[in-house]
Amino acid sequence: MAVLSTSKKLLLLLTIVLLALASISHGSLPLTEIKVGGEFGWKYGVNYTEWAMNTAPFYVGDSLGFYYKNSSLGNFTIYHNVHLLRDFEHFLNCDFSDSYEVADSSQGEGGFEFILSELRPYFFACDAGEGFHCRNGPMKLLVMPILRSWIPFVPCKPDNSTDLV
């Protein structure tokens, strides 16, 4: 069995901590819609790691909107889609084995909505060009939603929620 890389260990640890906390907190969550990539949408040439860092935190219950459409380059059609990759290692390597297509090339025009319904990391990527978009775009996005009730830990508007007393 391969030794886990440091980053993978960290991710596992983070996941465990989050899962432990999940059992403590409950509450109904207001839904927030977040447009992936902001004004750029889901396209080649945007650094989604940077976008995610600037946009975080993401919360369980938030929905991500993926907006994309086909374009042409000479005789070629350039298209995009949204896959969910299996784990962090597959994400790092743009490995689409065991990946799951959540939205195909025709679903981005009106915006494809994906709800972050679970407390777990989500690994998104575009598999167009046999992974070229993922490797070189780099059209890949890692999102780790946290719980709404963590708000007091984030410098944000305080409220009178009672489940943290």
Stretch that binds ligand NAG, among 67-75, 82-90, 93-101, 141-149 (CB under 6 A): 67-75
Stretch that binds ligand NAG, among 11-19, 21-29, 75-83, 139-147 (CB under 6 A): 75-83
Least distance in angstroms from the C-beta of 53 to ligand NAG: 6
HEC sequence for the chain: CCCCCHHHHHHHHHHHHHHHHHCCCCCCCCCCEEECCHHHCCCCCCCHHHHHHHHCCCECCCEEEECCCCEEECCEEECCCEEECCCHHHHHHCCCCCCEEEECCCCCCCCEEEECCCCCCEEEECCHHHHHHHHHCCCEEEECCECHHHHHHCCCCCCCCCCCC
Q: Is 71 in the site for ligand NAG (CB under 6 A)?
A: no
Least distance in angstroms from the C-beta of 137 to ligand NAG: 8
Residues of this chain that bind ligand NAG (CB under 6 A): 47, 49-50, 70, 74-75, 77, 79, 105-106, 109, 138, 160
